[in-house]
Structures are given as structure tokens and as C-alpha cells.
Amino acid sequence: MKKLLLPTLLTTVLAACGSDPATTATQVKDNADDSNKIQSVTVQPDKDGRRLSSELNDLSRQGSVYFDYDSFVIRAEARPVINSNARYLSQNRNAKVLIQGNTDERGSHEYNLALGQKRANAVRQALKLLGVRDEQVEAVSLGKEKPRCFEVSESCYAQNRRGDFNYQ
Amino acid sequence: MLTIANSHTYHAMTKTSHPLSVNTFRGFFRALCAVLLGCLALNAHAEDSVTIDIIGTGADRIPIIIPVFENESSLPHPVSDIVRADLERSGAFQLVDIGPLPLPESRTPDLAAMKARGAHMALAASVRPSSDGGGRYEIRFRLFDVQKPEREADIGGMMLFMPPAQHRLIAHRIADFIYEKILHIPGCFATRIAYVAKIGARYELQIADSDGVNAQPALRSAEPIISPVWSPDGQRLAYVSFEARKPIVYVHVLATGQRQVLANFKGSNSAPAWAPDGSRLAVVLTKDGLSQLYTINANGSGVRRLTASSGIDTEPAWSPDGQWIYFTSDRSGGPQIYRIAANGGNAERITFEGAYNVTPRPSPDGKKLTFITRNEGRFQLAILDLASRQRIILNPEAARDESPSFAPNSNMILYATENGGKGVLETVSVDGGVKQRLSIQAADVREPAWGPLLK
């Protein structure tokens, strides 16, 4: 009798047909697809109802800090935004800010997430040098997941390489 | 009703005058006949339609005849089309068409005639209503090696009881049987894939069969979801969700929808990777500065730092023996692939060719590594033989390949790429010979992950 490797879900082995040594009878359990059942879940936006930052906030200190390609250096033009945020945080020691780093769309999701973190960390470091306390700042990355501009062009990519301030 | 249920609509054909072209054309009409018969019998099911795009062609494929099953038109859903599509997509088989006539399982087919058509293998298969009265069907099939003498040609067969709703699972299991019987490697058609669909402004984590059909949402969110990865037992997914304005790693039980935060430390939490024994995961955290590798128990306890570089370390993936963790690091400047012992130690650099190599994924048999390389500004799927260190770019014409994931039998790679500004999923055989696009109902998909063989 030839031995057959039976797929594991086909569990119930019935009598083999006598005249046909190569045929083995198996039965698919009626509930064989139970392991394939998926319970669907819908998650609601964050409790405060706010979406992820990419949209600009109406406060002037919440402008963005833009970066060159493959760069994590804060450009001189970003100084006013950094300074106004540092001033606000220094004057409001209970205020907390989430800095979200972003990248353009080129490259892997996770490597971009790490590059966006580098940008967020650069902004955090700049605030720290201006006297902002560590516990007031959380630097995170959205990688390439939340682009502000969707075209395939350098000007669009430049808008997506940025850090945003998101007050909680 | 207008959808061609269960048929293969072939779009881009090969540029060569490969016999497949003719056969495929005939196959189309055969499928159409089957559909029309199906329509007469019962309603066609639009959700079962599947489109397979053959982009390339492979050498050394085994010519096989998978005829229409005897009495297949009595089934509410055809089965043989799914078997054919599976075998063809694997890159290991070339379909030989014999028209709309079945080869009944009860008789040994005319082996000489099969051989004359260029086939090496032929399936004889029949369908009949099950005598137990449960509304089920019996599918009997036998596989013949037509190159052998008649008394040795029968190389195996099965009888399956099929509830009508399980026609896809049964078809994938028949294809798995054929694949394993001929190649002596497990087939993995009856497995599942996960991926993220973008539907308008929403994101859905979806689970589908390995051919992209039967999609079911596991998670719906207004914010991005990335990096889904299957637990070794196939029951859970770990992934990164941005629903709380920052990346957090969750573990999600598919059968119950129960979710648990795995890692939510200050900063970003991402890139989960299950250890082969399922007991712990590698993750990337930024709680101590830049992105670094950590390990964490599957229940979220016992976080332990694994790398301590001055740059980025991310995209971990375990070797199948659990000894190594492959990852991406920019410690030398641009991103390159390294590996480190799973319990820590010195990192060893793996890639040297090219200035940008990311997303390393070792094959389940431990012999190969797939990754994405940047080649003159284009992101392309590559494969490295870990013993010889020989590298092949599998998609030399691609521009936006990403997120590769090995089939559990190591013979195919599932990956995301772009077509007309939308994300699509494709599979390619590891020799690069056969590449097909999965037809997924959602129009914009990314981040695929191939699930394990079901135990």
C-alpha cells in the first residue's frame, strides 16, 4: 500500500477503496474552516478625536520643520518655529508635545520609520538645548505613512520630509 | 453575474511564442464553458473571480494536464480552475491543455496520448454527489506519471468530501497534494496571506487565501497599519498601528479579534518579528534614542535590548533555526543588511553590493535571503544565496518593489509593488521564472505577509 501524506485538516480517514491501492479516502471536517474564521475589529480614532497630525494646527508655533533629502540637520529657516515652541514649553511646564517625524515615500516602510525618528529626535534635541524638559517631549515617527503631498515630484517629497509639533 | 467566476483572465502574455499562449487561449474558452454551465446550474459567485497576470515565463517547468473534472459542471463552484491557477503560479508547472473533455478517475487515461501532447503528468478526476446525503460532493482523483509504464504510472490519489462552500480550500489542497507528490516539497496553496488595503481614507488589515481571493478584514482603522507578521502557529498577527498618533505594536488573535498592546514605549514601536518558537518577538524601539533592536516576550514582558549601535537598526527577521536575527542598519552610512546572534553579540555584515539594501527576509529553509535593493533609484526585489553569496535581482525592470515575504515552502516570494500609482501584490518563483499579480478585490494594497503552513 502506497503511503500518502495526508493534509492535516483532512482528518477522518475512511476505508480505502479496495481495488485501488493508490486512493485513500479522507474527509474534510464540516468545520474545517473554523481556523480560518476572522473576527473583524474596527478601531476608533484616538480618544480626543484628533486625527494624526499631518494636518496643520491653527497655532503659529505648530509650523513644520523641513529637512533636506537624507538629512537630519535642522535648517536655519526652521529656527523661528523651534524657538517659539521652546519658549511656549518653557513657559508652560505642564504642556506636552508629540514631535512626529516624516519622510518622503522612497524606500521601505520600516527604514523610513527609522529615518523619520532621526528627524523627530533632531527637533527634540534642539528643544532640549533651549531648555525644554525631557518629560515634556515625545519624539515619534510616522515614516512615510502620512504624506502631506501625494505627487511624485521633488517639491512634493520636500514637503513630506518634515517634523510636526502635536500638542496633547 | 457578468463576472467570469473561477476562470483565469489572462492579460499580459509572454513575448515569446510559448505554447502556453495557445493553451491558455483554449483554457479560457474551457473556463468560459464551465462558467456558463455553472451559471445555468446555479448562480455564479462574483466574489470568486480571480485574475492572474502572467508577466514572465520560466524554463524547466513540468508539463501537466489538469483537465476539467468529470461532472464538474454539477458543482456550484468549479474547482479545477483553482488547481490549475495554483500550479501555474508556483512556477514549477506548465499547463498542457486537452480541451473540455474530462479524464474520469475510474479509468486509467490514455497515457500514450497524454505523452504525445508533451505532458509528463496528468490528473484524472471525477465529481459526484456524496451518498451520505449531506449536500456534499465526493471528489476522487488520481495522479499519473505518463512517462512510466502503465502499471507504475499511478502515483497516488485521494477521495475528498467537499461541502460546497469549501471548494476553494479543497482545490488548494488538491494542488498541494499534486505539488508535494511530484516535487517532494510541501505545497502551500492552502495557506493564507495578510496585507493592508487602503480603501479611500481608511486602512484595512485583510486576510485572504494564498491566491488573494476570499479576503476578510481583520482590522479597520482610520490610520495606517504597517508590518503585519504571522505568529508561527498562524493564529495571531503582530503589526504596527498608528491609531494612537504614534506607532505601537499590537498582537491580534484572528479568530476572536482580541488585540493586545505588545510594545508601547516612549517614542516609536515598530517592526515586530516572531521568533520561530513563538515565545518572543524582536521589535524596534526608540525609547533609548534612535531605532534599535530589542526582544520582548509574546505577552509584552521581558524587554531586552539586542543592538547598541550609534545609527539605525531595524527590520529584524529571525533565521528559521532561531539562531540569528537579520536586520537593516545604517551603521556604515547607507542602509545595509547585517545579522546578529539572537542572544546578542557582534553584528556581521551580509550585503556589500549596492548602496541601499533593506528588508532582509530569510527563507524558511534557511538557504536564501530576500531583500530590496536600490538600483539607480529603483527599488527591486533581490535574492541572495546564503552559502554562495550570489545575488540575483529578481525584478530588473521594477521600480517600487517592497515588503518581500517567503512562501512557507521557500519556493516563491510574495511582495508589494506599484502599478499605475496603486499598490499591487505579486508573487515570483525564487528563480525569477514566473511572476504573477494577485488579483485582490481592494484596488490599493501593500505590506503583504505570507502565513505559515496550517498545522
Cβ-defined contact of B254 to A39 (cutoff 8 Å) = yes
More confident residue, B208 or B58: B208
Residue B51: pLDDT above 90? Answer: no
Output B300-304 pairs: Cβ under 8 A, ≥24 positions apart: B300/B260, B300/B261, B300/B262, B300/B263, B303/B263, B303/B265
Q: Residue B102: what residue type?
A: P
Residue B10: pLDDT above 80? Answer: no
B293: left (phi over 0), alpha (psi -120 to 50) or beta: beta
Grid cell 501625494 is found at: A150
Domain boundaries along the sequence of chain B = 19-183, 192-450
Q: Are residues A8 and A90 in the same domain?
A: no
Cα atoms found within 13 Å of the Cα of residue B135, Cβ hemisphere only: 7
Residue A112 lies in a domain: yes
Residue A133 lies in a domain: yes
Q: Are residues A98 and A20 in the same domain?
A: no
- Average pLDDT rounded to a whole number, residues B214-236: 96
Q: Residue A167 forms beta bridges with which residues?
A: A97
Summarised one tens digit per residue, pLDDT across range B399-421 is 999 999 999 999 999 999 999 88
* The pairing of beta strand B269-274 with beta strand B121-129: unpaired
- Average pLDDT rounded to a whole number, residues B223-246: 97
pLDDT of B439: 80
Residue B351: pLDDT above 80? Answer: yes
Chain A residues touching residue B375 (CB < 8 angstroms): none
Mind telling me how many Å the CA of A26 is from chain B's nearest CA?
A: 5
Give which of B259, B230, B257, B255 is closest to B243, Cα–Cα: B259
Question: What are the phi and psi torsion angles at B107 (to 5°)?
Answer: -125, 150
Q: Rounded distance, CA A73 to CA A163, Å?
A: 11
Query: Nearest chain B Cα to A46, which residue?
Result: B244
Residue B17: pLDDT above 50? Answer: no
Q: Rounded distance, CA B329 to CA B325, Å?
A: 12
Q: Is the torsion defined by CA of A128, A133, A135, A136 positive or negative?
A: negative
Write down the mean pLDDT value for chain B: 88
* The pairing of beta strand B402-406 with beta strand B412-419: antiparallel
- When divided into structural domains, chain A yields a total of 2
Residue A36 lies in a domain: no
Coil, helix or strand at residue B39 = helix
Task: Say if A3 is an interface residue toward chain B (CB within 8 Å).
Answer: no
Question: What are the phi and psi torsion angles at B427 (to 5°)?
Answer: -120, 150
Give which of B373, B370, B436, B427 is closest to B400, Cα–Cα: B373
Q: Are residues A19 and A74 in the same domain?
A: no
pLDDT of B281: 98
Residue from A102, A113, A135, A150 whose CB has the most chain B CBs within 10 Å, to mutate: A113
Q: Which CATH superfamily is domain B192-450 in?
A: TolB, C-terminal domain (2.120.10.30)
pLDDT of A43: 85
pLDDT of B57: 55
Q: Rounded distance, CA A137 to CA A120, Å?
A: 10
Q: Rounded distance, CA A102 to CA B261, Å?
A: 23
Q: Are residues A64 and A129 in the same domain?
A: yes
Query: Nearest chain B Cα to A143, which residue?
Result: B247
The domain of A5 spans 1-31
Q: Is the torsion defined by CA of A105, A108, A113, A114 positive or negative?
A: negative
Summarised one tens digit per residue, pLDDT across range B115-129 is 999 999 999 999 999
> Which of B159, B166, B455 minimises the CB distance to A33?
B166
Q: Which three cell numbers stand for residue B170?
A: 479543497
Residue A156 lies in a domain: yes
For chain B, the distance separating the N- and C-terminal CA atoms, rounded to the nearest angstrom, is 36
Residue B357: pLDDT above 60? Answer: yes
Chain A residues touching residue B402 (CB < 8 angstroms): 108-109
Q: Which CATH superfamily is domain B19-183 in?
A: TolB, N-terminal domain (3.40.50.10070)
Residue B276: pLDDT above 80? Answer: yes
Per-residue pLDDT of chain A (168 residues; tens, 9 = 90+): 333 333 333 333 333 333 333 333 333 233 344 556 778 888 876 544 444 443 334 455 668 999 999 899 999 999 999 999 999 999 999 999 999 999 999 999 999 999 999 999 999 999 999 999 999 999 999 999 999 998 889 999 999 999 999 987
- Average pLDDT rounded to a whole number, residues B144-152: 94
Q: Are residues A151 and A111 in the same domain?
A: yes
Task: Say if B247 is an interface residue toward chain A (CB within 8 Å).
Answer: yes
Residue B45: pLDDT above 80? Answer: no
Residue from B130, B159, B179, B227 whose CB has the most chain A CBs within 10 Å, to mutate: B159
pLDDT of A24: 34
Cβ-defined contact of B154 to A138 (cutoff 8 Å) = no
B 126-165 residues inside an 8 A Cβ radius of A:
134, 140, 142, 154-163, 165
Which DSSP letter does residue A36 get?
A: G
Q: Rounded distance, CA B14 to CA B415, Å?
A: 21
> Which of B160, B162, B226 minimises the CB distance to A145?
B226
More confident residue, B439 or B173: B173
- C-alpha distances out from residue B139 to B42, B80, B454, Å: 19, 11, 22
Q: Rounded to 5, what percent of chain A is helix, strand, coil?
A: 35, 20, 50
Q: Are residues A94 and A155 in the same domain?
A: yes
Grid cell 464538474 is found at: B72
Range of weakest confidence among A19-23, B165-169, B226-230:
A19-23
Summarised one tens digit per residue, pLDDT across range A64-111 is 999 999 899 999 999 999 999 999 999 999 999 999 999 999 999 999
Residue B292's CB is within 10 A of a number of other CB atoms, namely 23
Element (H, E) at B230: strand B225-230
Summarised one tens digit per residue, pLDDT across range B292-316 is 999 999 999 999 999 999 999 999 9
Q: Are residues A145 and A70 in the same domain?
A: yes
Mind telling me how many Å the CA of B274 is from chain A's nearest CA?
A: 16
pLDDT of B37: 37
Grid cell 552559502 is found at: B387
Residue A83 lies in a domain: yes
pLDDT of B54: 54
Cβ-defined contact of A9 to B190 (cutoff 8 Å) = yes
**Residue B376 binned pLDDT confidence (cut-offs 50, 70, 90):** very high
pLDDT of B60: 78
pLDDT of A76: 94
Residue A46 lies in a domain: no
CATH code, A150: 3.30.1330.60
Which DSSP letter does residue B65 get?
A: E
Q: Are residues A64 and A27 in the same domain?
A: no
> Which of A2, A41, A52 minimises the CB distance to B156?
A2
